[in-house]
Amino acid sequence: MCGIVGYIGKRDTQSVLIEGLKKLEYRGYDSAGIAVYTNNGLKITKATGRLANLEHKLEDAPLVGNAGIGHTRWATHGKPSDVNSHPHTDHSKKFSVVHNGIVENYLELKDELISQGYEFVSETDTEVISHLLAREYNGDIVTAVQKAISYMRGAFALGVLTEYEPDKLVAVRQASPLVIGIGDGENFIGSDIPALLNYTRKVYILNDGEMAVLTKDAVELMTIEGNFISREMINVDWDAVTAEKGGFAHFMLKEIHEQPKAYRDTMLGRIDESGRRIILPDLHLTEDKIRSINNVHVVACGTAYHAGLVGGAVIERLVRIPVMYDVASEYRYRSPLITPETLVIVVSQSGETADTLAALREAQANGAHVLAITNVVGSSIARDADDVINTLAGPEIAVASTKAYTSQLIAFYLFSLYLAQVRGTQTDDEIAHMIAAMHALPEQVESMLANVDAIKVYAEHIAKHEDLFFIGRGLDFAVAMEGSLKLKEISYIHSEAYAAGELKHGTLALIEEGIPVIALATQESVLEKTVSNIKEVKARGADVLALTHEEHVAGLLKSVDQAFAIPKTLSILTPALSVVPLQLLAYYASLARGNDVDKPRNLAKSVTVE
């Protein structure tokens, strides 16, 4: 998730671009840059770090002109650096492009362009686009853009300028958001509406497979095939704060709703075109090394640790390698048994978690190969690990993690299937079957997000309580721990998660008349046993909400007070669905108690001290 802006008109372009990028910095903040068509041709200034660094550069050498594009970056290909920052150009510096998304086949396109004599300077997928534009240009930038994108697979929103046609700004949308702003003698593009609100409230929303050609006096909408489109203009009545949150009341709710996109983005480019194999082209872990692994350690903190509990169980089930779990703050102090045949997987949303970074270094010092699963390219953990799988959730603003957690699950599923593929522990058909089920997950999450009324009502009910319990078995227990943490983090209700089979070992003493218990019952292999545990708490007066598959709701309602259904998927994939209603439950309970949902007390987004 990055932010792009563009302007063509009568104002000082640099100021418009910088103001627009400030409104989009929540979409990415590891680098920023602008390209402006000046009296001396296309000129570009970019800087690593927050937008303020770019502003400081421009104070000394402003870019003066009336057309330009800008970008604030959340890195996906290539570490944060000046050279990897956008805008990108071709070798002649006649074409400039900003890009939000992923060019899935950029490596093969890059190899082809290099063989044709084009020279690359960055590590990004975006630079491929600028060279394609240069190759395909034959006097018409619109045709060149259409030809370039015909070679590209993936997700992209583009802003394109060329020195050859300074009176045009071209915008394209394919699976990444893009908005066109309409002014008087000026027009705009932006990833989100907030970038435009200081200048106009009249917008067109581009749909996938559409593009726009902007001049200062007109906007033409068309399909990427060149068929012109007529569309009604929208008048935006949001205030700036609401617009920044995409119309949602809080960033947390927005990020919960962004999960289907995060699922798709994290899978993008990591499944072959046949849908039957996993491809992890950036992985340095050789197949021989994979075959030599005899144990796995999963190390993380908080929500990332809960993702690791699911991920480790998936590795054991699919790959048949023993997995040990540890919270990062304890790992290095207990002298873990590590050998060169140990694979250590560290998980961190920020890539800066101090305890996890220390655990990574301890593992490497003892000869282990370390794989990091993180959401921030170029973070300390990403730099120091031997291998990295970047989740592609984009920036997460709310303190309570939602889309970062579920993207970590997707990364674990992909990696586990890749290990199984190399080691031959799953057949080709079994792998293809699971991949097909993974492809269905985003739409299944969308279906749940469209039906939240029952969750809202139950959240208002539990908001009146001070204690609550979650129970579950197997993967359900791992998800119960995350659901409990979410509730505690933002509602401040005391909550505990227990393995349902452990209830007899003391926990039942805590069950009192009317106390809420949330029972996860999605795992078919232990469903009967889970129902028995539900009856135990119900017999002692608990008010029980069950979370289960649609087909089991009727049966469970004989034993519980309420039941919430999740769509049917493979048992091993249910955590990617069952956690979503628990996130919503925490959100609405916090709301009902009048708390600051996005900034809960005493918590920080990234824990960078031990």
Query: Helix-strand-coil percent breakdown of the chain, rounded to 5?
Result: 40, 25, 35
d(CA 450, CA 172): 28
Least confident of 166-180, 318-332, 461-475, 492-506: 492-506
d(CA 491, CA 473): 25
- Do residues 62 and 118 lie in contact, with contact meaning Cβ atoms separated by under 8 Å? no
The structure tokens listed for 128 are 């491929």
Other C-beta atoms closer than 10 Å to the C-beta of 424 total 10
| Amino acid 610: pLDDT | 46
The structure tokens listed for 85 are 């920052």
Other C-beta atoms closer than 10 Å to the C-beta of 467 total 13
Task: Render pLDDT for 282-300 as a digit per residue (tens, 0 to 9).
Answer: 899 999 999 999 999 999 9
| Amino acid 603: pLDDT | 66
Residues marked active site are found at 2, 605
State the pairing for strand pair 154-162/169-174.
antiparallel
User: Sheet harboring 562-566: ordered strands across?
Assistant: 494-499, 467-472, 516-521, 543-549, 562-566
* DSSP per-residue codes, 115-162: HTT----SS-STHHHHHHHHHH-SS-HHHHHHHHHHT--EEEEEEEEE
Residue with more model confidence, 176 or 228: 228
Other C-beta atoms closer than 10 Å to the C-beta of 113 total 20
Q: Specify the amino acid at residue 425.
A: T
Question: Over pLDDT 70: what percentage of the chain?
Answer: 98
| Amino acid 509: pLDDT | 76
- The pLDDT-based confidence of 608 (bands split at 50, 70, 90) is very low
- The pLDDT-based confidence of 27 (bands split at 50, 70, 90) is confident
SS3 426: coil
d(CA 329, CA 326): 8
Q: Which residues contact 571 (CB under 8 A, 6 or more apart)?
A: 475, 522, 523, 524, 525
Q: Could you tell me which residues are beta bridge partners of residue 520?
A: 547
Query: If you count them, how many residues does the chain have?
Result: 610
Task: Render pLDDT for 406-436 as a digit per residue (tens, 0 to 9).
Answer: 999 999 999 999 999 999 999 999 999 999 9
Task: Render pLDDT for 213-252 as a digit per residue (tens, 0 to 9).
Answer: 999 999 999 999 999 999 889 888 777 677 778 889 999 9
C-alpha R_g of the chain: 25
* DSSP per-residue codes, 441-506: HHHHHHHHHT--HHHHHHHHHHTT-SEEEEEESTHHHHHHHHHHHHHHHHH--EEEEEEGGGTTTT
Tell whether the model's pLDDT for residue 361 goes beyond 60: yes
HSE, side-chain direction, 13 A CA sphere, residue 317: 17
Residue 116, classified by CB atoms within 10 Å of its CB into exposed (0-12), middle (13-18) or buried (19+), is exposed
Q: Which residues contact 564 (CB under 8 A, 6 or more apart)?
A: 454, 455, 458, 545, 546, 547, 548, 581
d(CA 185, CA 106): 37
Can you tell me which residue has the tokens 């674990």?
412
| Amino acid 604: pLDDT | 56
- The pLDDT-based confidence of 399 (bands split at 50, 70, 90) is confident
Distances, alpha carbon 397 to alpha carbons 256, 282, 404, 489, in Å: 11, 27, 11, 15
Find the Cα–Cα–Cα–Cα dihedral 59, 60, 61, 67, rounded to 10°: 0
Distances, alpha carbon 444 to alpha carbons 438, 573, 580, 581, in Å: 10, 12, 11, 12
Tell whether the model's pLDDT for residue 609 goes beyond 50: no
Mean pLDDT score of the chain, rounded to an integer?
92
Average pLDDT (535-539) is 88
Tell whether the model's pLDDT for residue 506 goes beyond 50: yes
User: Sheet harboring 202-205: ordered strands across?
Assistant: 41-48, 31-38, 67-73, 3-8, 187-190, 179-182, 202-205, 234-235
Per-residue b or e along 358-369, where b marks 16 or more CB atoms closer than 10 Å to that residue's CB: bbbebbbebebb
Average pLDDT (460-471) is 94
Distances, alpha carbon 186 to alpha carbons 7, 66, 196, 200, in Å: 7, 9, 12, 10
HSE, side-chain direction, 13 A CA sphere, residue 437: 21
Task: Render pLDDT for 571-593 as a digit per residue (tens, 0 to 9).
Answer: 999 999 999 999 999 999 999 99
d(CA 375, CA 395): 8
